[in-house]
Amino acid sequence: MSLSDQDNRPVGIFDSGMGGISVLGEAIQQMPNESFVYYGDSANAPYGEKSTAQIIALSERVCEVLLAHDVKAIVIACNTATSAAASHLRKKFTQIPILGMEPALKPAVQDFPKGTIVVMATEVTLREKKFAELMLKTASKAKVIKLPCPSLVRMVERSVVYGPEAEKELKACYDNIDLSSIDGVVLGCTHFLFLRKALKGLLGEGVHIYDGNGGTINNLKAILLQKGQLAQPNHQGSFILKSSKDEAYNQQMLDLLRIYEEVAL
């Protein structure tokens, strides 16, 4: 790869709040030479309780903020915004690649073709056309249980990711499900990756947990490679955290990023 095929500009990543920090953490681990600008639209969180039109408008505004930082690509680190706004954003901002998230349902049903799979996500993700298409595409004899968990999003926004409160909220979400019947859980919201350890505590080590973060970052790497826009191998990667709230919230995001490996892997 020649120097002309390298690009040290940052990659933009955004979410409605804290959840996408898990995607940023994965990106930093997998792409240490890249720089990132992360934007948490915390003043408008959670997106999962808003209309499609509202999510599109908010996502547009965030993309404008990221483009002002001269980003070379944007990752929508939010399943809800991906479902509601990705198609619109790609048509509006044609100058750069825009990647989204997809619930990792396919590997789950491949591993358990006749098993029981729980998909934890927001109401918007579960009701949008994109998820219905994913269900059709991965059609199998597996039993798929849709589990909207709005209280968990709000909890992670407060940086509560383990301990008694997290355990109590998770248990309440699973109240009407036979835990012994579950083979796999798909984390269809980036906020929920921070609850992986607590979820393992509730469901047991035998239940497989799937998320789409790794696949999204692999797609990002492939696209940047194809476009000749990977950072130089000797470039020291960095990140900037921004939000629509205040500096105290930015510190919360930094604290959550620091414990990413501890609670999410």
Active-site entry in 63, 149, 173, 189:
189
48 carries a ligand binding annotation: yes
Backbone conformation region of residue 247, classed left if phi is above 0, alpha if psi is from -120 to 50, else beta: alpha
Is 63 one of the annotated active-site residues of the chain? no
79 carries a ligand binding annotation: yes
47 carries a ligand binding annotation: yes
Is 78 one of the annotated active-site residues of the chain? yes
Asked if 101 and 48 touch (Cβ cutoff 8 Å), the reply is: no
**Which residues, in sequence order, are CB contacts of 35 under 8 Å at separation 6+?**
8, 9, 10, 11, 231, 235, 237, 238, 239
With residue 239 as reference, give the H or E element that holds it: strand 239-243
191 carries a ligand binding annotation: yes
Asked if 79 and 101 touch (Cβ cutoff 8 Å), the reply is: yes
Active-site entry in 63, 78, 149, 173:
78
If 0-12 CB within 10 Å is exposed, 13-18 middle and 19+ buried, where does residue 53 land? exposed
If 0-12 CB within 10 Å is exposed, 13-18 middle and 19+ buried, where does residue 94 land? exposed
Which candidate, 216, 200, 208, places its Cα nearest to that of 107?
Answer: 208
Helix residue ranges, H only, the chain: 21-30, 52-67, 79-92, 105-111, 123-127, 129-137, 150-157, 164-173, 196-203, 213-226, 247-258, 260-264
243 carries a ligand binding annotation: no
Catalytic site residues?
Answer: 78, 189
Known binding residues are: 15-16, 47-48, 79-80, 190-191
Known binding residues for substrate are: 15-16, 47-48, 79-80, 190-191
